[in-house]
Amino acid sequence: MTPQSSGPSLFLIEAAVTAILIGLAFLSPRPGYTWFRAAERWLGRLARRRALAVAAVGVAACAARLAILPALPVPHPFVHDEFSHLLAGETFAMGRLTNPTPALWEHFESFHIILHPSYMSMYFPAQGMFLAAGIELLGHPWFGVWLSAGLMCSALCWMLQGWFTPGWALFGGVLAVMRLGVFSYWMNAYHGGAVPAVGGALVLGALARIMRHKRIRDAFWMGAGLALLALSRPYEGLLVAIPVGLYLAVWAAWQRPLAVVFRRVALPLASVLALTGAFMAYYNWRITGSALNTAYEVNRSTYAVARQFVWQPPRPEPAYHHKVMRDYYVSLEFPEAQKAGTLSGFLDGCLAKAGISLFFFFGFLLMPALCFLPWTLRDRRMRFVVVAIALLAAGLAVNFYMFPHYAAPGTALIYILLVQCLRHLRVWRPARQPVGRFLVRAIPVLCILLCGIRAWAAPLGITVERFPAMWYGTAPLGVARAQVCAELSRRDGGQLAIVRYVPQHNPLNEWVYNEPDMNHAKVVWAREMDAASNQELIGYFSRRKVWLVEPDCKPPKISPYSADGKPEPER
């Protein structure tokens, strides 16, 4: 894993590069004219071969990430959500939908999983399915992330082909590769983003094609996109699906004969959605015992005090078995929810969410295009896109948390708006100088430059922050736990790692996560409890070597766990 750098910030480098680009565009907007024109002609020929262009964009994203694996290896999980999705992926790879509650389950409680009535991730299954595909096809769950990011870039290019000419669709797909597909955490972490983005792209791409051709296959593509949204981020997916459904319904009402629309659009779409609903009902029943109760709701009602939306009153505080669990839900999460429920906190949260989304999707380099948003808003066919983005933004505003993957279902909407802004920028000629054309042509070149800087940030001494741009940062997250797990895995026989935190432990740095089948896992991670509970745990895993793991020591400390629950020096 790349070590943390302490040199100049990539975020500020991008800002400086953007400023230089704008200055150069006004001072000398004609450099490289012949080269740019030749490149556009070549790419134009590729763009007109639509299927090839879609495939090329996805392959480019996947190939580029593989090419830099020596500099940026496969990432380690660190965030709670990542371990939860990995549990789902490993479960699906074993041919299961869930797992039985483990014995002595209190020792294995952790964030964003449930242990009753079964042992499983609290999240919806789509991300876990891709992780399972990575395990089954290429032997590691990250390859499922890698595949989903490539599919996202291809899906965005395909979607844009339904809204724009082939050249602009390819242009938007290339930007997606460089801004989202290689270095964002959607490619370099396990908690998703690419999967719901694929779903949103299929929905928006199918919408444009259905209204033009009324083909059955496009209705199935829309159904597949809606299914992905329902199985990944159903709330935000619904925020995208509502305006699409209303727009499609109004369009259908004006079509004649109506029976053709019903047969070619409504019926295939309803069939896919019915199958999706049946699967989710069965999935919920297997995990929670109720077709209508999700694992997400079981987890939140078991552990959380804060509710999801800013207007909802808090739940009563539950009885926690572990201090670290209370620290997270009561001392860390709940104050944030309380703040979001006040007017000032809500407004501050809206500003922060807007900033996170702006820097993640656009960065400094694409912001000049947003200067042409007023012109874009006047375009008749953009009105639906603007309304849909506004509805998504309103829905995200009332959720007290926000990360860019929350907005992932709306990625296609954002890229439609971005490409239309770039089209206006390209024809901008202040003082009859081709300033806009130069900017549009130079942006992909500078994206490639920034990608190269990011790939070799560590040897160049450049710092890559995770906030606010949400690029895959240079901080070595997850390495310490992975190293301890690897060290224990190398030892003969099964290992039991009993984790002891200091009272001031950061609850965001969680170590207690396990494989689906703990009884056959090489290493079992457990929380230290009282002496009697610890002895019961040790007795249950009597054939395992027992270790005390202290993550808060620097470096983390591993020592044999003695019979009285105290560490003893290793012999």
Residue 131: HSE in the Cβ half-sphere, 13 Å Cα cutoff: 28
Q: pLDDT value at position 455? A: 85
Q: How far, in whole angstroms, is CA 497 from its chain's centroid?
A: 30
107 pLDDT higher than 60: yes
CB atoms < 10 A from the CB of 536, how many? 14
Give the bridge partners for 328, in sequence order.
Answer: none
Contact (Cβ atoms closer than 8 angstroms) between residue 418 and residue 328: no
User: Is the pLDDT at 39 greater than 50, yes or no?
Assistant: yes
> Is a pLDDT exceeding 50 seen at residue 1?
no
268: confidence class by pLDDT, cuts 50, 70, 90: very high
Confidence at residue 2, expressed as pLDDT on a 0 to 100 scale: 42
Query: Does 504 have pLDDT greater than 70?
Result: yes
From the list 287, 113, 128, the residue with the least C-alpha distance to 195 is 128
Residues ≥6 apart with Cβ < 8 Å to 98:
91, 118, 119, 120, 286, 287
Distance CA(428)–CA(430), nearest Å, equals: 6
* Residue entry with tokens 């262009």: 53
Helix (H, G, I), strand (E, B) or coil at 498: strand
Burial label, 244 (beta-carbon count in 10 A; 0-12, 13-18, 19+): buried
Helix 216-232 and helix 126-138: axis angle, to 10°? Answer: 100
Q: Is 438 helix (H, G, I), strand (E, B) or coil?
A: helix
How far is residue 283's CA from residue 98's CA, in Å, rounded to a whole number?
A: 9
DSSP 142-155: HHHHHHHHHHHHHH
For residue 471, which of 62, 131, 12 has the smallest C-alpha distance? 12
Query: Can you tell me the mean pLDDT for 496-509?
Result: 96
Nearest residue to 202 (alpha-carbon basis) of 228, 230, 182: 228
Q: What is the pLDDT of residue 425?
A: 96
Q: Which two tokens stand for residue 17?
A: 């590069």
Per-residue confidence at 3, pLDDT binned at 50, 70, 90? very low
Cα–Cα distance, 189 to 464 (Å, whole number): 15
pLDDT at 511 over 90: yes
- For residue 158, give the 3-state DSSP assignment: helix
Contacts of residue 457, defined as CB under 8 A and 6 or more positions apart, other chains included, come to 2, 5, 10, 463, 464, 474
Q: Cβ atoms within 10 A of the Cβ of 325, count?
A: 18
Residue 472 has pLDDT above 80, yes or no: no
Residue 459 has pLDDT above 90, yes or no: no
**Degrees, nearest 5: CA angle 436-40-380:** 55
* pTM metric for this prediction: 0.94
pLDDT, tens digit (0-9, with 9 covering 90-100), for 324-354: 999 999 999 999 999 999 999 999 999 999 9
> Half-sphere exposure of residue 144, counting CA atoms within 13 Å on the CB side?
28
d(CA 72, CA 89): 23
Tens digits of residue pLDDT in 47-85? 999 999 999 999 999 999 999 998 889 999 999 999 999
How many C-beta atoms surround the C-beta of residue 485 within 10 A?
19
**Mean pLDDT over all residues of the chain?**
93
- C-alpha separations of 306 from 221, 302, 377, 526 in Å: 37, 11, 37, 26
pLDDT score of 411: 98
Please, which residues have CB within 8 angstroms of residue 194's CB and are 6 or more apart in sequence?
A: 145, 148, 149, 151, 152, 180, 186, 187, 408
What radius of gyration, in Å, describes the C-alpha atoms of the chain? 25
DSSP string, 182-240: SSBHHHHSSS-SHHHHHHHHHHHHHHHHHHHH--HHHHHHHHHHHHHHHHH-HHHHHHH
| 3-state DSSP assignment of residue 463 | strand
Secondary element (H or E) of residue 285: helix 267-288
Rounded CA gap, 357 and 354, in Å?
5
What is d(CA 51, CA 46) in angstroms, rounded to the nearest whole number? 9
To the nearest 10°, the Cα dihedral for 376, 380, 382, 384? 150
Task: Please tell me the predicted confidence (pLDDT) of residue 565.
Answer: 53
Question: Both tokens of residue 523?
Answer: 């290493």
Q: What is the pLDDT of residues 204-256, one digit of tens each?
A: 999 999 999 999 999 999 999 999 999 999 999 999 999 999 999 999 999 88
Residue 120 φ/ψ, nearest 5 degrees: -165, 165
Per-residue H/E/C for 55-121: HHHHHHHHHHHHHCCCCCCCCCCCCHHHHHHHHHHHHHHCCCCCECCCCCHHHHCCCCEECCCCEEE
Q: How confident is the model at residue 445 (pLDDT cuts 50, 70, 90)?
A: very high
